[in-house]
Amino acid sequence: MEGKYDFGLIGLGVMGRNFILNVADNGFSAFGYDLDQEKVAALKEEGGHEAKVNASTNIKTFVQALKQPRKIMLLVPAGKIVDSVIESLLPHIDRGDIIIDGGNSFFTDTDRREAYLHDKAINFFGAGVSGGAKGARLGPSIMPGGSKSAYQHIKPIFEAVSAKYKGEPCVAYLGPKSSGNYVKMVHNGIEYGLMQLTSEVYDLLKKAGNFSNEEMHDTFSKWNQGRLQSFLVEITSKILEQKDELGADKGHLVDQILDKAKQKGTGKWTSQNAMDLGIPVPSIDIAVSMREISALKAERTEAEKLYGRPEVAILDKEELAKLTEEALYFSFIITYAQGLHQLADASREYKYDLDIATIAKIWRAGCIIRAGLLADITEAFEADKDLPNLLLSPNFVEKIKGTVTSARTLVAHAAKNGIPMPGLTNSLTYFDAYTSSRLPLNLIQAQRDFFGSHTYERLDQEGIFHTEWE
């Protein structure tokens, strides 16, 4: 059995099992490892012939089964367990072998691990994998970063198992060190923003248009056939028609789901790192905050009793559907623009040398934020690889001009009627601030100089100035 298998995978939970079966389906032999005998047995049973897929609970048996240089992927929870698995591998692997972390590890942890293993002549990759369990089985978007020369050993496998967009694999070498994990982190931050925006539109249709679940299902389905075509819009339409099998009235399941959204931290990491870099991502920031507000269910319920809710003015359904489609399209563009701006700045700061067009390309299929819009984004960055912000692309000016008025209308209506739409509001505020040549921050600089002698610059002459205000 020694040295027979092309690919190894540690962690045979749903994601790991699906990914390794995907590898085997695409012509590569694969060997799995897990401490849980039941998971090992389940993989063997589902994988069929042992020459194609095999597994063990013994780490030495696992390592010896792999061809050199060994290509070992970890699909285990981020954190200390990744370090633990790496340490368990080190006595058995050889110089030149490749370890790939496919989890959502924080990018600085990846840099630390990469440096640690580099000293031992082991190649380490952080490879973000997006698409959920179904994507892992049928084709995810994969975002690898690490040694460019070592990537050639894993490239054939990753290109075979990844999702395809018009025949192009949704995977590409992104850059050195933690670039892959960083790109996946920002992908997830954008995901937070898009999910928040989609939920706000759902809420607005329901409260300001009296849309039934069936009508909203039809509306989202129609949108998914147009410029809003995306995975999140598609699954929203499906969620809205799902019947509740447990409830007594057998109504729609979505109405019985508790309005407390959980999170695993990648959105928060995106927001925190954007602040470290000085890059504004307010659509992502507020999406994280709204999940935190949603957790305050008991307090929210008590507060509503104290303050009540305004009576909502109902809008014409056809007109509201038109406005929400345009506003959602507008805010999707803004959210992508913020995330890609962060990637471009991080690339310079951390010396990743990211190609934004390539990133947009590999997001076009397989991943959670896949959308028709990404084809246009790819074109924008192919036309100008140094584009600082998507809003400065000539390709997007008319798209924004044609939809921003609807965003203004809905933000105003929501504010007047007490419907929280922080994602759309923050997207609009970001747009208005980014497109303003003059902001009132001159007053803030004057205040800072007044109370702290922090100095200021002038419009009419060069230099740094301070005034004795009193």
At 395-454, the pLDDT tens digits run 999 999 999 999 999 999 999 999 999 999 999 999 999 999 999 999 999 999 999 999
Task: Give the number of other Cβ atoms within 10 Å of residue 234's Cβ.
Answer: 18
- The residues carrying an active-site annotation are 184, 191
DSSP letter, residue 265? S
Q: Are 145 and 125 in contact (CB under 8 A)?
A: yes
Rounded average pLDDT over 43-63: 87
Q: Report the mean per-residue pLDDT for the chain.
A: 95
Residue 189 annotated as binding site: no
Rounded average pLDDT over 211-227: 98
Residue keyed to tokens 């539109």:
201
Residue 264 annotated as binding site: yes
CATH match for 7-173 among 3.60.70.12, 1.10.1750.10, 3.30.450.40, 3.40.50.720:
3.40.50.720
Q: Are 100 and 147 in contact (CB under 8 A)?
A: no
Residue 454 annotated as binding site: yes
Question: CA nearest 290: which of 199, 413, 367, 185?
Answer: 199
User: Angle at which helices 14-25 and 148-161 pack, to 10 degrees?
Assistant: 90
Residue 237 annotated as binding site: no
Give the span between the Cα atoms of 211 and 320, in whole angstroms. Answer: 10
In the chain, CATH 1.10.1040.10 sits at: 184-435
Q: Are 343 and 186 in contact (CB under 8 A)?
A: yes
Rounded average pLDDT over 105-121: 95
What's the pLDDT at 2? Answer: 62
Q: Collapse the DSSP code of 334 into the 3-class scheme (helix H, G, I; strand E, B; otherwise coil) and give the result.
A: helix
Give the span between the Cα atoms of 35 and 39, in whole angstroms. Answer: 8
Give the span between the Cα atoms of 170 and 143, in whole angstroms. Answer: 9
What's the pLDDT at 161? Answer: 97
The length of the chain, given as a count of residues: 470
Query: In terms of CATH, what superfamily is 184-435?
Result: N-(1-d-carboxylethyl)-l-norvaline Dehydrogenase; domain 2 (1.10.1040.10)
pLDDT band at 247 (very low <50, low <70, confident <90, very high): confident
In the chain, CATH 3.40.50.720 sits at: 7-173
Residue 448 annotated as binding site: yes
Residue 192 annotated as binding site: yes
Residue 49 annotated as binding site: no
Give the span between the Cα atoms of 388 and 407, in whole angstroms. Answer: 24
Whether residue 265 is predicted with pLDDT greater than 80 in this model: the reply is: no
pLDDT band at 296 (very low <50, low <70, confident <90, very high): very high
128: left (phi over 0), alpha (psi -120 to 50) or beta: beta
Residue 181 annotated as binding site: no
Give the span between the Cα atoms of 449 and 209, in whole angstroms. Answer: 49
Give the span between the Cα atoms of 111 and 117, in whole angstroms. Answer: 10
Whether residue 212 is predicted with pLDDT greater than 90 in this model: the reply is: yes
Report whether the peptide linkage leading into residue 69 is cis, meaning its omega lies within 30 degrees of zero: yes
What's the pLDDT at 249? Answer: 82
Of the chain, the end-to-end C-alpha distance in Å amounts to 84
Whether residue 1 is predicted with pLDDT greater than 60 in this model: the reply is: no
Sequence-separated contacts (24+) of 154-161 with Cβ below 8 Å: 154/71, 154/98, 154/100, 154/125, 156/28, 157/6, 157/7, 157/23, 157/26, 157/28, 157/71, 158/127, 160/23, 160/26, 160/27, 160/28, 161/19, 161/22, 161/23, 161/26
User: Are β-strands 141-145 and 123-130 bridged in parallel, bridged antiparallel, or unpaired?
Assistant: antiparallel
- Helical segments of 11-92, H only: 14-25, 37-47, 59-64, 80-89
What's the pLDDT at 266? Answer: 81
For a pLDDT cut of 90, what percent of the chain falls above it? Answer: 91
What's the pLDDT at 241? Answer: 96
- Helical segments of 278-393, H only: 282-294, 297-307, 317-350, 356-362, 373-383
Residue 188 annotated as binding site: yes
H or E, element range at 33: strand 30-33
272: left (phi over 0), alpha (psi -120 to 50) or beta: alpha
For the record, the structure tokens of 221 come out as: 């389905």
User: Angle at which helices 317-350 and 394-401 pack, to 10 degrees?
Assistant: 150
In the chain, CATH 1.20.5.320 sits at: 441-469
pLDDT band at 261 (very low <50, low <70, confident <90, very high): confident
Q: Which amino acid is at 452?
A: G
Give the span between the Cα atoms of 331 and 404, in whole angstroms. Answer: 9
Beta-sheet strand order (sheet of 30-33): 53-56, 30-33, 7-10, 71-74, 98-101, 123-130, 141-145
Residues contacting 444, CB < 8 A, separation 6+: none
User: Are β-strands 30-33 and 53-56 bridged in parallel, bridged antiparallel, or unpaired?
Assistant: parallel
Residue 291 annotated as binding site: yes
Query: In terms of CATH, what superfamily is 441-469?
Result: 6-Phosphogluconate Dehydrogenase, domain 3 (1.20.5.320)
Residue 187 annotated as binding site: yes
Rounded average pLDDT over 137-142: 94
Sequence-separated contacts (24+) of 209-212 with Cβ below 8 Å: 209/314, 209/315, 209/316, 209/317, 209/320, 209/321, 210/314, 210/317, 211/317
